[in-house]
Amino acid sequence: MRLHRVLPFAKRLLAETVVAGETVVDATAGNGNDTVFLAELIGEEGKVFAFDIQQAALRATKERLAGLANRVDLVLDSHAHVDRYVQKPIGGAMFNLGYLPYSDDPTIITKPESTIEAIHKLLALLKKGGIITVSVYDGHEGGPQERDALLQYVKTLRQADVHVIRYELLNQRNNPPFLIAIEKVREFDEVILM
Ligand code: SAM
């Protein structure tokens, strides 16, 4: 199978571009599935910074990490503050937008302003050739607003700096996610919008 679902496709892109020993970012740790994937990818010498604004999410992530915990810094803060914790260069980053599955409070969701601020800062920190993946869910309240703001933002990124794709399966039911993937194709320290 070549046309994977969104999450396996995102992981494939990162597996092809992240090198063992690098620093990477899980911008939305949630229950830790992506953090575990990234921790395995970067190996013993690498580092994952995993952000979440919910203590319960970081607890779940820590539990899931088990023996990989020493490769991960869990950060109880918004990904919008990524530049306070992470040094350049990073090898890649992952977002999985929306709310924490099985949470007591599904009204805690990712928001357009902080998601865009985080992507903006991560692009400056990203290595040339690195990829940021964003799995976008728009089936919950607030989802369509975040989707639209994000699409508008990525379309203003200059094509000489980054390539942006949207990837989605068109014949899935029940509001499946789609993927936005951004590849940095030129070195820069600051994102300039069109
Ligand atoms: N990747 C996760 C996994 O593998 O289980 C799922 C992530 S879940 C869909 C989205 C997560 O983003 C929630 O846990 C939520 O608390 C978190 N979140 C919301 N706003 C955030 C922010 N500004 N910074 C960091 N995390 C945030």
> pLDDT means per 10 residues in the chain (194 residues)?
95 98 98 98 98 97 97 98 98 97 91 98 98 97 97 98 98 94 96 92
What is the whole-number distance in angstroms between the Cα of residue 99 and the centre of ligand 1? 6
Q: Which of 9, 25, 177, 183 is nearest to 97 (CA)?
A: 177
Q: Which CATH architecture has domain 6-184?
A: 3-Layer(aba) Sandwich (3.40)
pLDDT at residue 46 in the model: 98
Task: Using CA atoms of 121, 125, 129, 134 in order, give the dihedral in degrees to the nearest 10.
Answer: -40
- Ligand 1 neighbour 57 (Cβ under 6 A): yes
CA angle 18, 73, 48 (to 5 degrees): 5
**Separation between Cα atoms, residue 28 and residue 193, nearest integer Å:** 25
Answering whether pTM is above 0.80, one says: yes
CB 156 within 8 A of CB 110: no
DSSP state of 43: T
**139, two tokens:** 């089936």
Domain ranges of the chain: 6-184
pLDDT at residue 104 in the model: 85
Instruction: Please name the residue that has the structure tokens 């992507």.
Output: 119
pLDDT at residue 187 in the model: 97
**Separation between Cα atoms, residue 72 and residue 51, nearest integer Å:** 10
CB 155 within 8 A of CB 163: no
Strand order in the sheet with 178-184: 72-76, 47-52, 23-26, 90-96, 126-136, 178-184, 162-167
Q: Is the ipTM of this complex over 0.85?
A: yes
- Ligand 1 neighbour 54 (Cβ under 6 A): yes
pLDDT at residue 6 in the model: 97
**Separation between Cα atoms, residue 135 and residue 167, nearest integer Å:** 10
pLDDT at residue 82 in the model: 98
- Ligand 1 neighbour 31 (Cβ under 6 A): yes
What is the whole-number distance in angstroms between the Cα of residue 160 and the centre of ligand 1? 30
Q: In a mutational test of the pocket of ligand 1, which residue from 34, 36, 51, 52 has the highest number of ligand atoms less than 8 Å from its CB?
A: 52
Neighbours of 116 (CB within 10 A): 17
